[in-house]
Structure 1
Amino acid sequence: MRSRDAYWKQANRALLVKALAELCYEQALVAEPLSEGRYSVSLASGVKYHFHAWLTIWDWLLIEAESIEREHHGQRAPAEDAAQFFIDAAGDLEATPSTLGNLLHELANTLVADVALLEKREGLRAETLAQLSDEQLQCLLDGHPKAMVNKGRIGWGAREFNLYATESAQGVRLLWLAVRRALAVSGNSQAWDWQQLLAESLSEGQCQLLDTVRREKGIDWQAFLPLPVHPWQWQRHIRQHYARHISCGDLVLLGAFGDEYLPQVSLRTLSNLSRPQALHIKLPLTVLNTSCFRGIPGKYMRCGPILSAWMQRLCERDTTLRARGTGILQEVAGLHVPHVHHEQIAGTPYRFRELLGVTWRQSPAGLCVQGERHLLMAALLQRDSRGNSVAVALIEASGLSVQAWLAQLFDATVVPLYHLLSRYGVGLVAHSQNLTLVFRDNRVVRVLLKDFQGDLRLAQGDFPDRGDLPSEVEAVLDQLPPSHIVHDLFTGHFVTVLRYLSAQMAVEIGLCELDFYAVLAQVLRRYQKSVVTKAPQMAERFQQFNLFRQRFERVCINRVRLRQGYGDSAERPVPIVGGDLHNPLWLAEQQQPGQIQLQPETLSSEEASL
């Protein structure tokens, strides 16, 4: 076992790699090439950072962590202090002292979590990680690769980290409240009533205990609804902000009951520790993490179950989606308790409007059949201490060629996302934590989609095929021009997920990036051909949502925090657009037209018959 200091230096170097690479990609900093594979970043402070790197197809640097050196007053030394880098670069990043101070707060929390993960994964090879259950592996993941300080968790300290953080892998027992129905905004599918939701989260004995307490406190379920709350959220926020409702008996604490729940990598979504097939519970946690406070907006509560049920019906009736087994992790119920005072203030900080609520969502374990297993797509990017990835471990265990395995991955994930966008004008921000992959024999066979609260938007225009979308749902969802919403797939998935996967495979197994995107291009072209053959009018849609255009806008998320700072706002942060990118799909088709041949076994049964 290495020393804690060794882990600390490794975590700092890894964060330096991410910060330098992402800030250069977002054009906040400029990396000057010195010689082949050698770069330098000169800062306004007079400090320079030197490193070896490879420029990927995305105009993004893949930096060798051990090569980074800091030059100050002509003296060079290994760079092992991520906080010092941000201090050095503050002028270039246009960060105010207040912003820089808060960023260093997030940085410190992230580094502590990263060190804990390095210690936990020590000795675990990629082959072992790849065979862990989804729930186990989520507690070992590094998290969003694009966000520089992705475990900032402002609002939590060491105690909360040890009790409630994903890396702790500790079960959390929820508190249960009774909330007067008149106060709540709620919605539930016809298949789930509130008593069933209670029974899903509590064993029969625990249900009886809760019922005894409920009767002792004079609670009648005809007038109240059950509401789980995270114990930290109750202590830190609810007792104070909702004191008025508590004092008059409209909000009643019943106590801690039921099974323990394991925090997933998203922090606020919890899976049942003893019964993985039980519904997941998503709860507000008013901590600042990966750019925003992790609350639950109340506007989706009534329509969430209706929307996810509509999405599931779409997957069942649509030939393209049904052929691929595309499914939905349905939000079967939601409940939100608006704050009586903050709701009256136009422009109040959004975190005060997202304090108390819950979403119950299907567990992927409950949708897998014999011989199947599920993993979050984020798991593919995880590497072991030798730098080997879960993705390559799965490929090697599958018995397929790299190209055939990737073709199945793309056919199961990218094609459904593109089909939803081009046929129905439905965009999903498909980052790696919103996609659950279902495997059979280590091969991806289908995808389960989730998280429609703010991550599902509609394209403006005439889309007759979504004509049965309930009006109350359409009224709540954001609607954007097609040129904007195409970024839900291009930026939300290609940039945010595939950018890292293609680079990892190039480094680990020597797969040329152009070959990687040539496979993706051929899968998409094959899909387009099969659709246009049956519905020629779709050719115009494919031009409207053109994934093959030469250049795309560069969307930046880290610069938002640096520019906006840490002050309260009425809305969640909006990304910044930088200079254009060359589209890897266009590049692949230009340089390697038709060179990658997909094997017949990579075709869906529907398309193999064409």
Structure 2
Amino acid sequence: MTAELVRAALTDPRFPEVRRRVFRQLLESLLYEGALTTENAATENAATERDGDEHVVTGEDRDGKPVRYSFRAVRRFGFDRVGLTSPVLREGVEADSVTRFLTEVRGSLDADPDHIVAFARELEETLFKDALSEHLREDPPSTADHDALETAITDGHRYHPTYKSRVGFDVADDLAFGPEFANPLRPLWLAAHRDITEVSASGSLDRQYLADQLGGEATRFHRLIEDVGEPDEYVLVPVHPWQWRERLARAFSEQLARGELIPLGPDPHEFLPQQSIRTLTCRDVPERPYLKLSLSMVNTSTSRGLAAHTVRNAPRVTDWLREVVAGDAYLSGELRPILLGEELGVAVTPESGLLRPDTYGALACIWRESLHPHLEPGERAMPFTGLTSCLRDGTPLIAEWLREQGAENWVRGLVRVAAIPLVHLLCAHGIALESHAQNMALVHVDGVPERVVLKDFHDGVRFSPQHLAGEAPELAAPPAHHQNRNSFVETDELSLVTDFLLDAFFFINLGELAIFLDDRGELAERDFWRVVAEEIRAHQERFPDLAERFALFDLFTPAIEVEKLTSRRLHPDTELRLHAVPNPLAEVEKC
């Protein structure tokens, strides 16, 4: 069956479009980040202005003969983004291999030779897994709620070329654990001895927190622990079944043999993976907290383990943000953003010596509040990724909203309820959130924007302590061996705070929505950013006492620094890789 399914996916009529998407995002990001040298010849006729300049990349085939790739691309209004307007051609015929492309044009790439092979593998994994997804994809029902949309929206990252790599998953794993296939799973529960475990809990957490979730299984688990040791000396932690099979049984064999880890059994309820794959929603009891679990696989070029210091910080950041919002009458009383609190964190951190890379971040869980108890009668929620998603026939999920409200009016409402809370948190309080599309949901009433859902705080906040309006939380610092140079919460560089929001939310999140609406003739990019700028200026006029703070966190700066997401995969991850791009908020005010 698996072999037949693979062949069917790779011969599906939609496969060429998947391949075009991988090529498109690869070439757009390489050009945008200055990582690919091309020759281009601009012409001035109207058709070419619309279709873009022709770019040519030269290389050599395996026999050393010259080879020529060509495509057309334009510069978009927002952030000077690059957009391909044609397929990629190889010697005049549509290119059919991203690996061959990288192999043949290596001389034109700014890349470390040792990293190209791994990057090519990620691209091939993405191509296959997205093809499988498109082959089996079904449209969500019009009545789909937030949880159903988390499994139905299959697009992935719209800038990053390895948007669905899932390195570590084979075909069977992808079908079993990929969110778009909506196959239920049951986490395995372990008991971890407190000597090798770090626990962090929100101040509001009830002592019965886990027992209430597990029901009668909590008693059975207690008895199983008693067979080995004293239950009070152990902490319960759930594990993704793939992680248990592929990593934990081997990497933690010593702890299992000594009774420091005790397998207890599966969860009493079935769960479904969200878009992030490692976060699970309880299908049987939707009000149960979401489980964010360690997964030692790579997706969108990032390992999906959970670093212990971020797990430790999750409840502390949650308590801090809740206090900030509750103490701000404008946020708590008028905008009313929903913060899905990360209320409990557990990380198993044994002394592993040479095997530390196998165990660090490999066994951990963050319990995040479910959205369901926060919604009021009449409210529904859509993941922000849904705002740029389409049905199989190309109809946007939000088409009816745009038709009924008008695109500009709807965008203005969206900005008021989604962008302004983030702007206010930044400027009034000095707190930037990494609000890319997977970290947000829009609460609406019949499509009318109502308020916003924010989540993923454990490593998704950034601040400069000396520029906070209040006290900084007491957080755990990353250990010396933590290698992710792009993952940090505190910084002395104020620009890295402002750009954190401008990059994740404005560049990626709103930027993709602006492109989406423009490409479908709903609202020109320039008009989109004009609306955003107008609403931010209106907010600033409403709070004249924050004038100095608005100047300090300048959202209208002419240029911002954004991550070179693709270039990071072509070089050792030893430094921040950023480039300055024009800010559309500043550009629209020049007109």
| TM-score, normalization by structure 2 | 0.88
1:225 paired with 2:226, answer no
Query: Is 1:26–1:554's contact at 8 Å kept on the other side of the alignment?
Result: no
Q: Deviations over 1:516-535 (max 9, x none)?
A: 00100011001011111xx2
Give the drift of 1:97. Answer: 5.1
Percent of aligned pairs with the same residue? 26
Q: Is 1:71 the counterpart of 2:81 in the alignment?
A: no
Segment drifting more, 54-63 vs 475-484: 475-484
CA–CA distance in 1 between the matches of 2:444 and 2:37? Answer: 41
Task: Select 1:114's aligned residue among 116, 130, 138.
Answer: 130
Distance 2:74 2:460 in 1: 33
Distance in 2 between residues matched to 1:444 and 1:421, nearest whole Å: 21
**Counterpart Cα distance in 1 of 2:274 and 2:21:** 23
SS class of match (1:390): coil
Q: Structure 1 residues 213 and 339 mapped into 2: Cα distance closer, same or farther (>3 Å)?
A: closer
Q: Give the 5 Å matches for 1:333-372.
A: 333-342=344-353, 349=357, 352-372=359-379
Give, in angstroms, the shift of residue 477 of structure 1: 3.9
1:27 counterpart SS class? coil
Residue 373 of structure 1 is matched in structure 2 by: 380
- Answering whether residue 41 of structure 2 is matched by residue 17 of structure 1, we say no
Residue type of the alignment partner of 2:116? L
Give, in whole Å, the separation in 2 of the partners of 1:222 and 1:589.
62
Amino acid at match of 1:41: V
Which residue does 1:48 correspond to in 2? 68
Instruction: Say how many residue pairs are matched.
Output: 559
**Residue by residue, what CA displacement relative to the aligned partner does 1:290-341 show, whole Å, maximum 9, x if unpaired?**
2221111111333321320221222222123121111210011010111312
Structure 2 residue aligned with 1:466: 470
1:523 to 531, 535, 546: 535
Report the counterpart of residue 327 of structure 1 in structure 2: 338
The aligned amino acid for 2:125 is N
Code of the residue aligned with 1:504 in structure 2: it is: F
Q: Secondary structure at the match of 1:299?
A: helix
Equivalent residues in 2 for 1:366-405 (5 A)? 366-396=373-403, 399-405=404-410
Structure 2 unaligned residues grouped into runs of 5+: 1-7, 61-65, 479-487
Query: In the alignment, what sits opposite 2:484?
Result: none
Mapping of 1:111-510 within 5 angstroms?
111-121=127-137, 124=139, 131-139=143-151, 140-193=153-206, 195-200=208-213, 202=214, 204-215=215-226, 217-322=227-332, 323-342=334-353, 349=357, 352-396=359-403, 399-463=404-468, 465-467=469-471, 469-472=472-475, 477-510=489-522
C-alpha displacement at 1:98, in angstroms? 4.1
- In terms of mean alpha carbon deviation, does 50-59 or 222-231 score higher? 50-59
**Mean CA deviation greater in 313-322 or 33-42:** 33-42
Distance 2:477 2:376 in 1: 33
Q: Which amino acid aligns with 2:459?
A: G
Deviation at residue 194 of structure 1 after TM alignment? 5.7
Range moving further from structure 2, 77-86 or 370-379:
77-86
- Give 1:552's aligned residue: 560
Q: Distance in 2 between matches of 1:321 and 1:474?
A: 29
What whole-Å deviation, never above 9, does each CA across 1:242-279 have from its counterpart, x for those lacking one? 22211111111112232111111111111111222210
1:108-140 CA deviation, whole Å, 9 max, x = no partner?
A: 221222112322346x3xxx6664222222223
Q: Taking structure 1 as reference, are residues 156 and 2 closer, same or farther at Cα in structure 2, changes over 3 Å only?
A: closer
In structure 1, how many angstroms separate the alpha carbons of the residues matched to 2:501 and 2:67? Answer: 38
Q: Rate the CA distance shift 1:353–1:158 in 2: closer, same or farther, 3 A.
A: same
Contact 1:395 1:443 in 2 (8 A): no
1:13/1:81 contact within 8 Å kept? no
Separation in 1 of the partners of 2:395 and 2:75?
Answer: 20
Contact 1:292 1:573 in 2 (8 A): no
Alignment-mate amino acid for residue 36 of structure 2:
L
The whole-number CA distance in structure 2 between the counterparts of 1:488 and 1:393 is: 33
2-side partners of 1:270 and 1:495: how far apart?
A: 28
For the residues of structure 2 that align with 1:456 and 1:29, how far apart are their CA atoms? 32
SS of residue matched to 2:588? helix
TM-superposed CA distance for 1:474, in Å, is 9.0
Aligned residues of 2:57 and 2:105 also touching (Cα < 8 A):
no
Residues 6, 480 of structure 1: alpha-carbon distance in 2 compared, 3 angstrom cutoff: farther
* Counterpart Cα distance in 1 of 2:349 and 2:270: 27
- Residues 365 and 480 from structure 1, CA distance in 2 versus in 1: closer, same or farther, beyond 3 angstroms? farther
Shift of the 573–325 alpha-carbon distance from structure 1 to 2, 3 Å rule, reads farther
CA distance in 2, matches of 1:324, 1:90: 50
CA contact (8 A) 2:401 2:410 kept: no
How far is the alpha carbon of 1:510 from its aligned partner?
4.1
Q: Secondary structure at the match of 1:479?
A: coil
| Structure 1 residue 491, shift from structure 2 partner | 1.0
The separation in 2 between residues aligned to 1:429 and 1:2, in whole angstroms, is 35
Contact kept, 8 Å, 1:174 with 1:258, in 2: the verdict is: no
The aligned counterpart of 1:599 is none
Gap runs ≥5 in structure 1: 565-571, 592-610
Pairwise CA distance, 1:473: 6.5
- Measured after TM superposition, the shift of residue 496 of structure 1 is 1.0
Whether 1:562 aligns to 2:570 is yes
Q: d(CA) in 1 for partners of 2:567 and 2:489?
A: 26
Q: Tell me how far apart the structure 1 counterparts of residues 162 and 459 of structure 2 sit (CA, whole Å).
A: 22
Query: Partner of 1:222: helix, strand, or coil?
Result: helix
Output the amino acid matched with 2:567: R
Worse-matched range after superposition: 107-116 or 515-524: 107-116
Please say if 1:91 is aligned against 2:107: yes
Provide the rounded CA distance (Å) in 2 between the counterparts of 1:511 and 1:340.
Answer: 56
> Displacement of 1:445 after TM fit?
1.1
Structure 2 counterpart SS, 1:509: coil
Question: How far apart, CA to CA, are the structure 2 residues paired with 1:213 and 1:132?
Answer: 40
Q: Give the match for residue 29 of structure 1.
A: 36
> Residues 449 and 214 of structure 1: is their aligned pair in 2 closer, same or farther, counting only changes over 3 Å?
same
- One-letter identity of the residue aligned with 2:94: P
User: How far, CA to CA, are the matches of 2:232 and 2:513 in structure 1?
Assistant: 51
**Structure 1 position 360, deviation (Å):** 0.4
The residue type equivalent to 1:280 in the other structure is Y
Check conservation: 1:424, 1:466, Cα contact below 8 A.
yes
The alpha-carbon distance between structure 1 residues 307 and 335, as it changes in their structure 2 partners (threshold 3 A), is: same
> 1:88 is aligned with what amino acid?
E
- Classify 1:247/1:473 alpha carbon distance in 2 versus 1 (closer, same or farther; 3 Å): closer
Q: 1:148: how far off?
A: 0.7
Secondary structure of residue in 2 paired with 1:303? helix
Mapped partners of 2:312, 2:117: distance in 1: 39
CA gap of 1:178–1:474, structure 2 versus 1, over 3 A, is closer
* Cα shift at 1:406: 0.9
Q: What's 2:550 paired with?
A: 542
Q: Secondary structure at the match of 2:191?
A: strand
Cα deviation for residue 227 of structure 1 reads 0.9
Residues 168 and 548 of structure 1: CA distance in aligned 2, closer, same or farther (over 3 Å): same
* Aligned-partner Cα distance in 2 for 1:387–1:86: 30
| 2:8 paired with 1:4 | no
CA separation of 1:30/1:493 partners in 2, compared to 1, >3 Å: closer, same or farther? farther
CA distance in 2, matches of 1:547, 1:336: 37
1:34 Cα offset (Å):
4.0
SS at match of 2:443: strand
Q: Deviations over 1:492-515 (max 9, x none)?
A: 111111222111111213412111
